[in-house]
Amino acid sequence: MRIIDETHTPHTGKVIDAFAKEEWLCRRTGNGEGPPLLYLWRHKRAFVLGLRDSKLPYAPQVMEQMERDGISTAVRHSGGAAVPLDEGVVNVSLITPKPRGRIDFHDDFRLMFGLVRSAIERLAPHLPQPVECGEVVGSYCPGDFDMSIGGRKFCGLAQRRQIGAISVQAFVLVEQQGEARMRWALDFYQAAANEATRSFHPPVRSGTMASLAELVDASVTVEAFVNALKEECRQRFLITDEKEQADVPFEEVIRIRNELERRYKP
C-alpha cells in the first residue's frame, strides 16, 4: 500500500481538484497500474454537495454566492450528501482493487471504520465512551456507516465504485466545532430548498455533530490524528511508499476536473 499525505498544507484552489486526483488514482489502481493507497487531504474552505443536493431548486444560486464569498464548491461523484470542509476536517480516501464478480461492498466500509477507530484509540486508549457505527439522525450527510461517540457524529463514509477499483471516502472532523459546521449545512439547505422540497434533504439539527477535539480531548490535532492513522496502516499493511503529494499529471487533473464538472453540473 502507498500513503499520500497532502494534509501538511490545506488546499486553497478548486475543491473538485482533490476529487479529480482521487479519480485518476482510482482508475490507475483499477487498471492494475498502481497499488492500493491511502490518500489524505484538507481544504481551507469548501462546501461539497451530494448529487441529490445539487438538484434542489436554488442550489446553483447558493453555490454561486458561496464562490463569490471565497468558498470553493463542487458536486461529488460518490454517494452521500452535503459536507462543509475547512482546515480542521481531514478527508481520507482508501482506494483498493475490486475483485471481479464482487457484489457486497460492506467490507470496504468496515475496513475504513476499523482504521479510523483504531487511530482514535491510539490517540486516546481510555475513551470514556466507545466509537460506534450507525446512522446519526439529524447529522449532515447521514448514512449507515456514520461514526460517532456518545451519539454525536464526527465522521461519515461514502463510496465511489469503478469497474476495477473502489474508493471509500471519509470526512473526519478533527478540530474546531461540529456545531458550526452543522449550522453551515443547515443554512445551505434552508437557502437551496423551497417548501415543496424540504423533505428531499437530510433533517439537519443541532447537537448531532462534534469534532474529535470536542469528543476525545481538546489537545487532539489534525497532525496527531493523521500520524495515528498512518501508524495504524503501517501496522496492518506493507507500506511500499509514502509521499506528501499525489503524482497526478496536472493536465490529467484539469481533464478530469472538467469531466466531473460537466457530468455533475447542478
- Supply the DSSP symbol for 249: -
- Name the packing angle between helices 178-192 and 59-68 (round to 10°): 130
Active-site residue flag, 141: yes
Instruction: Look at residue 219 in the predicted model and tell me its pLDDT.
Output: 87
Instruction: Look at residue 43 in the predicted model and tell me its pLDDT.
Output: 98
Instruction: Look at residue 105 in the predicted model and tell me its pLDDT.
Output: 67
Write down how long the chain is. 266
What stretches of the chain show up as alpha helix (H) in DSSP?
16-30, 59-68, 106-123, 178-192, 212-215, 222-236, 250-263
What stretches of 69-221 show up as alpha helix (H) in DSSP?
106-123, 178-192, 212-215
Pick from 254, 262, 248, 257: nearest CA to 95: 248
**Beta-carbon contacts of residue 148 (< 8 Å; ≥ 6 apart):** 131, 132, 133, 134, 136, 154
For the chain, which ranges sit under pLDDT 70?
Answer: 100-105
Per the residue annotation, which of 26, 133, 141, 233 is the catalytic one?
141
